[in-house]
Homo-oligomer: A and B are copies of this chain.
């Protein structure tokens, strides 16, 4: 902190188990990645290379090194896993984790249809090679799941070996946890929290209103994901009760 403000809530410090911030990189250059960590190294835990962008991003290894050198763990979006699966290239996916020395892997079924037992088998297999983050929820906003279904999928994936569950929102924040308007499905969130430990979930919350919602509900150290690369400092002030939307929360 650059100066003293009293009674600012404590944030967990890196390496964090709670209060995680996951940023979505949808195609930064190496230098832009350097800019991101220049402001965000202390605040960002993970950078997800969104969906399949890792496939075509130039100087990928250099960019991964920038993140790692700053103490930020990069990983590839779940859609990349799905792109391998739909092509029957699961072994190639495992080789990919090794090639890029990725400590984390995201397993999802947002764009493909697969029996849930099969997804859980993949979670179990991948968990032998990397820490698994698995994503629940479709990218298709016409496929709405009832809360009991979210909960049963989440429990099964935790049992299969998932480290953290991600609740889908896409980059745009209008599916999964959210209505098409971006509004939070509050009943869904309540029911999930009644059955699944909050710490096990990373809430994708790309829009400010969504970040504010979860910080109000679960405090400054809630796990948030799909944060835009230019909103890191903004989010951190929101967590600390130092932005209009959360100003009176924590003092």
User: A interface vs B, CB < 8 Å?
Assistant: 1-7, 26-32, 34-36, 38-39, 41-43, 50-60, 79, 82-84, 86-87, 89, 92, 96, 99, 110-112, 139-140, 170, 172, 208, 230-234, 236-237, 240, 242-245, 247-248, 251
Contacts and interface: CB of A to CB of B under 8 A. Distances in A.
B55 A243 contact: no
A3 B247 contact: no
Which of A30, A32, A110, A112 is most buried by chain B, counting CB atoms within 10 A of its CB?
Answer: A32
Contact of A3 (B96, B243, B245, B248): B96
Given A79-B247, A242-B83, A92 B4 contact: yes
18 contacts: A5-B55, A5-B87, A26-B230, A26-B233, A26-B234, A27-B39, A27-B230, A27-B231, A31-B34, A31-B35, A32-B35, A39-B57, A39-B58, A52-B243, A55-B237, A79-B243, A110-B244, A112-B247
Contact of A29 (B39, B53, B172): B39
A79 B53 CA distance: 34
Contacts of A96: 3
A56 B2 CA distance: 6
